[in-house]
């Protein structure tokens, strides 16, 4: 299996003969408001593409999810950063990073992330804005996340235990606490007391009393002071930037197959990582949204429970996991691995209307003698299933029809031109394009910034 040592350069603006290269054309032709979204069950490598594209955008914005996300990127010196709440544009000094209203924000986590970035020489001052409408995710949400998972016993979801579901529950039930509430410390204790009392009455093991509230309120008074310079009406900021013709890149967390509506419910996250989540999570109009790039791994991974039709169990799955270093960026959990699932990818493209795809981690398949491609779903009686099943039982019972393609058995991690890829690798990419009907414009051949082929 080929090694995955990151290389360090950023994409060169000029090709060897001095003409602008394909990469810059691809990036510069992206629309004023563009987005990068996950096509599978997360960890497709969205962070890497966002970091690369961010060099050509004024703002990078997150619109949903929270610190459940784990986006791994490398700076120009090859130093690794794992981001959770801070958008992956942060390594580009000119980029403003926006945490939109649809994000759930755990302040201790955010501050820790900012401190970590600053101690590694990344300046965050004046470069991160947090929406005054975003909901605050408290430590107790994380505790509740764990308690709910324990209650579910064998049917646990496999959440990241970062409190995401419980925080969005409070938002939807309408007793959540928002960033703007930090400006009203007179009513803040009462709101927090209601939430904590509610948890204490629901979960017997949850200890709660006046001392706990007092401590938490004191902590949040300090947090409120520290957060103040970051707080903004990001709806206004983003819309004004759009009027001023600035370029905005939206960074999706998780992915469509984990979407609360379109994913494999209930084994999903609690937000909308699909196109619709961009408008509700940032407060921008659908008509300003332009290109959406779907990020899809050359195989499939999933962390947590739930249906996974093309999963490879046993040794084959272990091989892919180690070749691709498939371990959770946030929790370190081993990711389940399987073949690329075209039926799920088509469903995802239908929902999001991608203008192009970024096929990532093609290098990871380099040692395989042959590659399987899940091309369709069939019922047990052999009839083809036309749409992605909503029903978990249908998903568990279906059969996947596979095509077998030849492997290339060559290290491709230093290839930078599409025409230099081995024929079998090009065949694999082109078969995917043909089946899905969306062009692949970017191909990842390593984790580093320059390990990208523009097609
Ligand atoms: P949650 O915590 O409520 O959002 O979990 C619900 C489901 O969503 C999945 N989920 C993820 N899947 C892949 N990657 C995620 N981020 C981390 C990463 C995950 C990690 O980048 O590696 O470190 O484990 C992510 N976040 C949520 C989760 O596994 C549940 O299936
Ligand atoms: P995200 O959540 O979609 O941003 O993805 P993660 O960062 O959680 O996981 C993707 C992992 O794959 C990270 O460790 C990346 O550094 C790495 N990665 C991204 N693209 C490539 C690629 O093309 N090849 C290889 N080998 N690794 C990649
Ligand atoms: Mg991730």
Q: Span 425-437, mean pLDDT?
A: 98
Q: Span 414-433, mean pLDDT?
A: 97
- Nearest Cα residue to 289 out of 32, 103, 52, 39: 32
Q: What is the pLDDT of residues 94-109, one digit of tens each?
A: 999 999 999 999 999 9
What amino acid positions are annotated as catalytic residues? 43, 71
The predicted complex's ipTM stands at 0.98
| Rounded CA separation 275/256 (Å) | 9
Give the residue whose CA is nearest to atom 30 of ligand 1.
Answer: 159
CA dihedral of residues 223, 226, 229, 232 (deg, nearest 10): -10
Residues β-bridged to residue 374: 341, 402
* CA of residue 253 to ligand 3 center, whole Å: 8
* CA of residue 162 to ligand 1 center, whole Å: 9
320 Cβ neighbours under 8 A, 6+ residues apart: 299, 312, 326, 337, 338, 364
pLDDT higher than threshold 80 for residue 152: yes
pLDDT higher than threshold 60 for residue 260: yes
Question: Helix or strand or coil: residue 172?
Answer: helix
| End-to-end CA, the chain | 24
141 Cβ neighbours under 8 A, 6+ residues apart: 106, 163, 164, 166, 167, 170
Report DSSP letters for 9-54, one per residue: PPPPSB-TTSSBPHHHHHHHTS-SEEEEEESSSS-SSHHHHHHHHG
pLDDT higher than threshold 90 for residue 322: yes
| Rounded CA separation 86/64 (Å) | 12
Q: Evaluate: CB of 70 within 6 angstroms of ligand 1.
A: yes
pLDDT higher than threshold 60 for residue 354: yes
Q: b/e per residue, 349-370, with b = 16+ CB within 10 A?
A: bebbebbbbbbbbbbbbbebee
pLDDT higher than threshold 90 for residue 376: yes
- In the block, which residue shows the tokens 């079998």? 424
Give the residue whose CA is nearest to atom 27 of ligand 2.
Answer: 447
pLDDT higher than threshold 60 for residue 13: no
The answer to whether residues 168 and 271 touch, using CB atoms and an 8 Å cutoff, is: yes
262 Cβ neighbours under 8 A, 6+ residues apart: 256, 274, 347, 351
Tokens of 8: 């360090």
Q: Which atom of ligand 2 is nearest to the CA of 362?
A: 23
Mean of pLDDT over the chain: 94
* CA of residue 207 to ligand 3 center, whole Å: 33
Q: Evaluate: CB of 448 within 6 angstroms of ligand 2.
A: no
Q: What is the pLDDT of residues 385-409, one digit of tens each?
A: 999 999 999 999 999 999 999 999 9
Quick one: which ligand is closest to 168's CA?
1
| Rounded CA separation 358/284 (Å) | 24
3-class secondary structure for 143-162? HHHHHHHHHHHHHCCCCCCC
Among 163, 169, 269, the mutation site with the greatest number of ligand 1 atoms within 8 A of its Cβ is: 269
* CA of residue 37 to ligand 2 center, whole Å: 14
Look at residue 371 in the predicted model and tell me its pLDDT: 98
Task: Output Rg (C-alpha) for the chain, integer angstroms.
Answer: 22
Look at residue 8 in the predicted model and tell me its pLDDT: 46
| Rounded CA separation 142/434 (Å) | 43
Question: Helix or strand or coil: residue 212?
Answer: helix
Quick one: which ligand is closest to 303's CA?
1
Q: Evaluate: CB of 331 within 6 angstroms of ligand 1.
A: yes
Tokens of 378: 């069939």
| Rounded CA separation 233/236 (Å) | 6
Look at residue 321 in the predicted model and tell me its pLDDT: 97
| Rounded CA separation 415/431 (Å) | 20
Q: Evaluate: CB of 297 within 6 angstroms of ligand 2.
A: no
Q: Span 230-242, mean pLDDT?
A: 98
Q: Span 328-349, mean pLDDT?
A: 95
Look at residue 3 in the predicted model and tell me its pLDDT: 36
- Enter the pTM of the model: 0.95
Q: Evaluate: CB of 159 within 6 angstroms of ligand 1.
A: yes
pLDDT higher than threshold 80 for residue 4: no
CA dihedral of residues 161, 167, 170, 171 (deg, nearest 10): -150
User: In terms of C-beta density within 10 A (0-12 exposed, 13-18 middle, 19 or more buried), how is residue 249 classed?
Assistant: buried
Look at residue 20 in the predicted model and tell me its pLDDT: 52
Give the residue whose CA is nearest to atom 9 of ligand 2.
Answer: 43
Q: Span 406-413, mean pLDDT?
A: 98
- Nearest Cα residue to 2 out of 361, 245, 336: 361
Q: Evaluate: CB of 360 within 6 angstroms of ligand 2.
A: yes
Q: What is the pLDDT of residues 52-83, one digit of tens each?
A: 999 999 999 999 999 999 999 999 999 999 99
Q: Evaluate: CB of 445 within 6 angstroms of ligand 2.
A: yes
DSSP β-ladder status, 96-99 and 128-131: parallel
- In the block, which residue shows the tokens 């990151």? 6
| Rounded CA separation 290/141 (Å) | 35
Q: Is the link from the previous residue into 177 a cis peptide, with omega within 30 of 0?
A: no
């Amino acid at each position: 299996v080929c090694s995955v040592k990151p290389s360090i350069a950023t994409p060169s603006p000029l090709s060897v003969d001095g003409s602008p290269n394909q990469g810059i054309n691809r990036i510069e032709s992206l629309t004023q408001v563009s987005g990068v979204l996950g096509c599978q069950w997360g960890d497709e490598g969205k962070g890497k593409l966002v970091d690369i594209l961010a060099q050509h955008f004024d703002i990078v914005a997150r619109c949903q999810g929270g610190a459940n996300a784990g986006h791994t990127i490398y700076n120009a010196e090859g130093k690794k950063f794992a981001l959770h709440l801070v958008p992956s544009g942060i390594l580009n000094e000119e980029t403003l990073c926006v945490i939109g209203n649809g994000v759930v924000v755990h302040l201790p986590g955010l501050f820790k992330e900012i401190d970590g970035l600053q101690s590694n020489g990344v300046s965050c001052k004046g470069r991160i804005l947090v929406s005054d409408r975003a909901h605050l995710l408290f430590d107790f949400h994380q505790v509740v996340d764990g308690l709910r998972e324990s209650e579910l016993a064998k049917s646990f979801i496999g959440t990241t235990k970062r409190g995401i579901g419980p925080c969005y529950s409070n938002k939807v039930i309408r007793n959540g606490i928002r960033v703007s509430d930090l400006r009203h410390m007179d009513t803040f204790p009462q709101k927090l007391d209601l939430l904590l009392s509610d948890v204490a009455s629901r979960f017997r093991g949850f200890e709660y009393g006046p001392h706990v509230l007092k401590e938490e309120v004191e902590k949040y008074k300090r947090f409120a002071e520290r957060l103040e310079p970051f707080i903004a009406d990001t709806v206004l900021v983003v819309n004004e930037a759009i009027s001023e013709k600035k370029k905005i890149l939206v960074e999706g967390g998780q992915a469509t197959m984990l979407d609360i509506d379109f994913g494999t419910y209930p084994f999903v996250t609690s937000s909308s990582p699909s196109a619709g989540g961009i408008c509700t999570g940032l407060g921008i109009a659908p008509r300003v949204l332009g290109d959406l790039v779907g990020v899809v791994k050359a195989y499939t991974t999933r962390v947590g429970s739930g249906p996974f039709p093309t999963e490879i169990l046993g040794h084959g799955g272990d091989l892919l996991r180690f070749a691709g270093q498939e371990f959770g960026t946030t929790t370190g959990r081993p990711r389940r691995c399987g073949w690329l699932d075209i039926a799920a990818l088509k469903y995802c493209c239908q929902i999001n209307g991608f203008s192009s795809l970024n096929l990532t981690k093609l290098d990871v398949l380099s040692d395989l003698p042959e590659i399987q491609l899940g091309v369709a779903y069939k019922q047990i009686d052999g009839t083809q299933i036309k749409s992605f099943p909503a029903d978990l039982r249908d998903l568990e019972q279906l059969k996947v029809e596979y095509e077998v393609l030849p492997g290339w058995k060559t290290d491709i991690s230093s290839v930078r031109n599409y025409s230099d890829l081995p024929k079998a690798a090009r065949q694999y990419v082109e078969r995917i394009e043909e089946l899905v009907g969306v062009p692949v414009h970017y191909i990842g051949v390593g984790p580093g910034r320059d390990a990208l082929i523009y097609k």
